Amino acid sequence: MELKTPQSIIHIKHRITIQQYKYWILLLLEMREQMLAGIAPDEQGFYTVRMAKIEERIGYTQSKHIIWQDMMALKNQTIDFNILNKDGKKERYGAGFISEWKISNDFIRFKFPSFLEDVMRGLEDPKAIFQQLNWTVFNSFSGKYEAVIYKLCKDYIGVGRTPYMELAEFREYMGIEKNEYLEFKALSRRVIMEPIKRINESEISDILVFPELKKEGRNVVGLHFRAEYKKQEKDVVKIPFFDPDEKSPFRLAKAPISPRTQAEYLEIRTGDEIMLCIERANEYGEQQEKAGKPVKYGALYRKAISEGWHEEKARQNEKQAEAATKKVDAQQREAEAKRAEAEKSKRNYEEIELSIQWFEALPEGKKKALEIEYLAESNATDVGMYKKTGYNYSGFRIFVKKTWKTKHVNTEETP
């Protein structure tokens, strides 16, 4: 019996990293969402997605350089498409995972090969590609092999088993290089048993997977997987996985935290305390990454929450708030001083203008008397400058203003 699944439409050699594969799925989903919303690509055929949306769905922020390298890998990696023509003959068509891309600080612009666009438009029942894929579970896997096996088994969960694959076909499907895991013992441990163990023991995985091997004599020649849904315990309260929204205390987590673990954390800490613990753990993790050290954020969050790192983060936030308050106060004082200085300069200018008007309106005799008074109390430098510039000399103007304020402002004398 032929099993209609994504693998019967698109045969993918998984020789890309799990991170690259996740980006590819998210871009396909984005294109599909825009198609359903009636959003057309731009004049050059590029679809556009906000970088923040990809980061939110994948659960962490990646450098633009790494994303560029991942896009390049997706373009350079070939997918084999096997399409059945009307005459029943098989036509083989190859393309990259993506065709073109552009990256800026805020956006990723991308194009897919024409066949993928046709699939996502509905020519080959596009919903079948992702209708059974639980993104939260899939995104929780950090290893390539468990993610690929999970997706394969989830596609066939309805019939309970995947198609049989010869060993060479399985190696090719999983992206195993010719010189890798030459002995089946090593292949079984690293590519089959350990990934299946991680799937089955995952707190948020919704399926169980079991390998079934076909042997000829003592040699394994092929395999398929059995898959079934996990049974829900009746006495376990189902807790929805928190979305990364503004209400979730787990919204800043860089690694998925299962509902069960979230519930466990919420029993010992408040939501605000958990958020502070995660913030402090992220800071520590980023410091370790800058030092070139690997970071397991899931384990780091457990340590931070169990040890109460929120207290240190709260003190840190308090100090930062105090420093910010002091900075704002200093800025306000500086701004007030500048306003006062500007007001003072403005008043000084206005007073000089009024005092000059007052001086110019004086009878010549009074003008001469002020001139004599100014020269009598001035030093040699001011006297010399006054003889050169006369009434326009700034020193004389200041003297006039002082006299005006004494005789006019204080005594309200009119010119």
* Confidence band, pLDDT 50/70/90 cuts, at residue 21: confident
Same domain, 61 and 173: no
Same domain, 99 and 9: yes
* Confidence band, pLDDT 50/70/90 cuts, at residue 409: low
For residues 181-196, average pLDDT: 92
Same domain, 205 and 323: no
Residue 245 domain flag: no
CA–CA dist 47, 20 (Å, integer):
18
In this predicted structure, the answer to whether residue 49 has a pLDDT above a threshold of 90 is: yes
In this predicted structure, the answer to whether residue 26 has a pLDDT above a threshold of 70 is: yes
Q: What is the pLDDT of residue 153?
A: 87
Same domain, 44 and 70: yes
Q: What is the pLDDT of residue 194?
A: 93
Q: What is the pLDDT of residue 328?
A: 87
Residue 241 domain flag: no
Mean pLDDT across the chain: 80
**Nearest Cα residue to 256 out of 272, 242, 239:** 242
Same domain, 100 and 163: no
Residue 264 domain flag: no
CB-based contact 57:24 (threshold 8 Å) = no
Residue 277 domain flag: no
Give pLDDT tens digits for 201-252: 888 888 999 999 998 988 999 999 999 988 754 433 333 333 444 467 888 8
Residue 49 domain flag: yes
Hey, what's the torsion of the CAs at 110, 113, 158, 195, to 10 degrees? -70
Q: What is the pLDDT of residue 222?
A: 94
Q: What is the pLDDT of residue 313?
A: 87
Same domain, 91 and 138: no
Give pLDDT tens digits for 334-344: 898 988 888 88
Tell me which of 129 and 274 has the higher pLDDT.
274
Domain boundary among 231, 262, 290: 231
* Confidence band, pLDDT 50/70/90 cuts, at residue 274: very high
Same domain, 23 and 92: yes
Q: Helix crossing, 394-404 with 380-389: angle to 10°?
A: 100
Same domain, 109 and 155: no
Domain boundary among 88, 110, 126: 126
Residue 342 domain flag: yes
Angle at 120 between CA 114 and CA 124, to 5 degrees: 90
Domain boundary among 181, 207, 231: 231
CATH number at residue 96: 1.10.10
Tell me which of 207 and 133 has the higher pLDDT.
207
Give the range of the structural domain holding residue 185, as residue numbers without chain letter. Answer: 132-231
Residue percentage of the chain with pLDDT more than 70: 84
In this predicted structure, the answer to whether residue 279 has a pLDDT above a threshold of 50 is: yes
User: For 191-213, b where at least 16 C-beta lie within 10 A, e where not — what string?
Assistant: bbeebbebbeebebbebbbeeee
Q: What is the pLDDT of residue 47?
A: 94
Give pLDDT tens digits for 358-389: 888 889 888 888 888 888 888 988 888 888 88
- CA atoms within 13 A of residue 306's CA, in its CB half-sphere: 8
Q: What is the pLDDT of residue 18?
A: 82
Same domain, 16 and 119: yes
In this predicted structure, the answer to whether residue 130 has a pLDDT above a threshold of 70 is: no
Bridge partner list, 212: 224
In this predicted structure, the answer to whether residue 291 has a pLDDT above a threshold of 60 is: yes
**Nearest Cα residue to 219 out of 184, 187, 174, 189:** 184
Same domain, 121 and 16: yes
DSSP assignments along 30-44, one per residue:
HHHHHHHTTPPP-TT
* Confidence band, pLDDT 50/70/90 cuts, at residue 55: confident
Q: What is the pLDDT of residue 8?
A: 37
Residue 258 domain flag: no
CA–CA dist 229, 207 (Å, integer):
4
Same domain, 184 and 93: no
CATH number at residue 150: 1.10.10.10
Same domain, 15 and 45: yes
Element (H, E) at 243: none
Q: What is the pLDDT of residue 406?
A: 81
Total tally of structural domains belonging to the chain: 3
Give pLDDT tens digits for 135-147: 778 888 888 899 8
* Confidence band, pLDDT 50/70/90 cuts, at residue 415: very low
* Confidence band, pLDDT 50/70/90 cuts, at residue 264: confident
- The answer to which of 34-38, 281-285, 299-303 has the lowest mean pLDDT is 34-38
Q: Which of the listed ranges 83-97, 146-160, 270-284, 391-405 does the model predict with the highest average pLDDT?
A: 270-284
Residue 294 domain flag: no
Q: What is the pLDDT of residue 223?
A: 94
**Nearest Cα residue to 163 out of 335, 342, 8, 311:** 8
